[in-house]
Structure 1
């Protein structure tokens, strides 16, 4: 996935802190891993400063004239990440004090925080409770950066959350599951175990319990198809809210009880099923929060194996392979390619210790004609090969609108693959950023990526020019994919061809 904005950059920064914390706490940190993680932190730190405003706040695409107001929740996230990274890399103290001052200026008399900028993922919104949800998020950030509960900003923020929970508990409209998950973790960090337990009890009544795994879902989520070989990942917001509940169970002084760890284990079972083959999740914030929660669970349950575990995988035919997992190599990712798919394989584990085994099946399919939640119409100008210039240059025009179940999409990406032998004319791509709908553009690996703030049922028209780089015969169509960055199951694909794709003169 692309990482071209200030929110997406956080996924390249924060998880390194959680990895270092986990390996430190479990005494597994090697110099090699430490050097690599610190290099990533330094790079992420410098990159994040590109999105800083003069007043110390941060926004999704930086301090652009007339656009992208400072973003409250992104500033809170960057602030706590920088504060947590201080023990590993140099962070200019000015970047922390400025961001904290700016956030304190957004706090209202009732202790809640006013919103600035937009939530790119509208699944995180709790309706009328947006202010409470945002305030809980900011309170968590302040407590995670180790500010005491007596700090004026934190104290007032906790008053806001306490008032909100008492109101919700009293039956004044209930409370959104996402908001409850944030509240549970915020009160856990503040050391208010009674309120935390009360909220967790309420959340338990709303949990989805499928055999062993436990997770939380949100109302009116988009329906997705399930096939024999394809099990869709859970939406980003559901991974995130479930991870917050896990963090709430694990945040107990002096340590989580056996009862807490039992409840946590059932959540971990579900979360690990949502991980992709690279170790991340569906999107950005869910990856950050889930990895934080899983690393915390790993620290709480870590024990050194007394003997090695042996994993044997064999097929109904002649294939057989073995993996050894012991204290010396348990951080090593071991892989094997299965020779035949589909096929019957058996896994057997002997010995002692904890082993995580994942299978990943990847395959390509031609785009199918089906109903998509986006409408994408792609045209080339000129549309035919009659114009002599069409052999070497043409314009790609996109008409995009959202026709899904919501009033509008989250931030969306239009990914335009180039026809073989053609490259985009970069100045014409850059000009797209003048549109009120486009936040950023990138040219990467023969693709043009266009970031759209959101897409509604109002059609957005975008066009840029491509030119021939290498003459190629018998050109095949290329694919355009438009997808919701936070609900990747909401997408649309369309194909386009070069005007002279079947003309010999193009060779």
Structure 2
């Protein structure tokens, strides 16, 4: 690689540790070139194929799935077939050794590889993997994270193209307690999302049956609240507020570190749900971006999202000002949730309370000194 080219950094939970080499990144690039029909430089393609072929012996299930699809696109059916069999056995055994997001993405790459090779030969396996991916489908239409959702939808589109619906005429019958209804799916409604709501107090026995011909995906979504989310040990975090004397302005400080053996997370998100009546100082948030403490932020209706390139083993702290805009009685605590963007199950949540800016029983001085702080990281 020429010295004047900045190679950048690859953040992907399936490509870490000893396998953080050029091979997985080469597979990503090779897939992009081949899907875009950018194959004019035959030698470049040949070198890329050689690179990824020699790096799959001890690779993870995810990297093998990625490589299988790349080799299939490149026309190396023999090498692709070996990896397809290996990945299929790993995923269907129930012990792929991957996070939920990477399991979905690996299964999607496997499905794409099988369909690119021979849809007819892999029809039974393709249906198994399609069902596996469907088990991770959430109630909002996606899967686990943004990236695996994109690849999963691509694989579903390829499956639909390989096995196009013909003469679909299905009646889905649903019974839940004393409630029952039917959903009709035919050629006119094949691409229409049909939703019905189940009423009644749980627990309910829900029975789904079908008649007719065709293939459809039926998802039963049960939404509920929990007092505390299950926490991951991947992160350590502390949250505290620093009160400005006799002012409606305080500072919220969040310190975090990554504790897993792979030493650094993917892109991480701090989701800050402020207490009712409080808002974040936009100028201060922009300052955090300018100083490259965070990559970007979003502020929406009292919830602030802070995006960090990664979180490592050494503690990193982010501080920003919050302002009390309205007096609210019996205010509930705010929360900070830290999670890995590509492995959302790696998450940790902590609550915080902002102290009353005026200490009870003490009076504010009649004069005040205004201090202008230029360093957005220290208060």
Say if 2:343 is the partner of 1:487: yes
Q: Quote how far apart the aligned CAs of 1:395 are.
A: 1.4
Of the three residues 268, 277, 280, the one matched with 2:142 is: 280
Distance 2:114 2:135 in 1: 19
Counterpart in 2 of 1:350? Answer: 211
The two structures have a TM-score, normalised by structure 1, of: 0.65
Of the three residues 61, 73, 80, the one matched with 1:189 is: 73
Counterpart in 1 of 2:223? Answer: 362
Counterpart in 2 of 1:478? Answer: 334
Counterpart in 2 of 1:155? Answer: 43
Counterpart in 1 of 2:370? Answer: none
Say if 2:303 is the partner of 1:447: yes
Tell me which protein shows more helix as a share of its residues. Answer: 1
The residue correspondences of 1:61-72 to structure 2 (distance < 5 A) are none
- CA offset digits 1:155-214 (Å, max 9, x no partner): 32333323552x458xxx53343332222212221233233223324434544335xxxx
- Call closer, same or farther: CA 1:174–1:380 in 2, change over 3 Å: closer
Tell me which protein shows more strand as a share of its residues. Answer: 2
Counterpart in 1 of 2:373? Answer: none
Q: 421-430 or 177-186: which moved more?
A: 177-186
Of the three residues 129, 133, 136, the one matched with 1:267 is: 129
- Call closer, same or farther: CA 1:300–1:427 in 2, change over 3 Å: same
User: Which segments of 5 or more consecutive residues in structure 2 lack a partner in the other structure?
Assistant: 362-379
- CA offset digits 1:107-151 (Å, max 9, x no partner): 89xxxxx98222222333473462111112111111101124xx2
Distance 2:96 2:160 in 1: 24
Counterpart in 1 of 2:184? Answer: 324
1:336 alignment partner, SS class: coil
Counterpart in 2 of 1:459? Answer: 315
Distance 1:126 1:407 in 2: 9
**What is the number of equivalent residue pairs in this alignment?**
359
Counterpart in 2 of 1:77? Answer: none
Say if 2:4 is the partner of 1:116: no
User: Which segments of 5 or more consecutive residues in structure 1 lack a partner in the other structure?
Assistant: 1-105, 109-113, 211-215, 222-233
- Give the alignment's Cα RMSD to 1 decimal: 2.8
Determine if contact 2:272/2:303 at 8 Å carries over to the other structure: yes
- CA offset digits 1:214-245 (Å, max 9, x no partner): xx824xx5xxxxxxxxxxxx522222122111
Counterpart in 2 of 1:433? Answer: 289
Q: Quote how far apart the aligned CAs of 1:370 are.
A: 6.0
Distance 2:38 2:231 in 1: 52
Distance 2:83 2:96 in 1: 16
Q: 402-411 or 295-304: which moved more?
A: 402-411
1:121 alignment partner, SS class: coil
With CA pairs under 8 Å and 6+ residues apart, which has the higher RCO, 1 or 2?
A: 2
Counterpart in 2 of 1:54? Answer: none
Q: Quote how far apart the aligned CAs of 1:338 are.
A: 1.3
The two structures have a TM-score, normalised by structure 2, of: 0.85
- Call closer, same or farther: CA 1:358–1:134 in 2, change over 3 Å: same
Q: Quote how far apart the aligned CAs of 1:404 are.
A: 3.3
Distance 1:347 1:477 in 2: 42
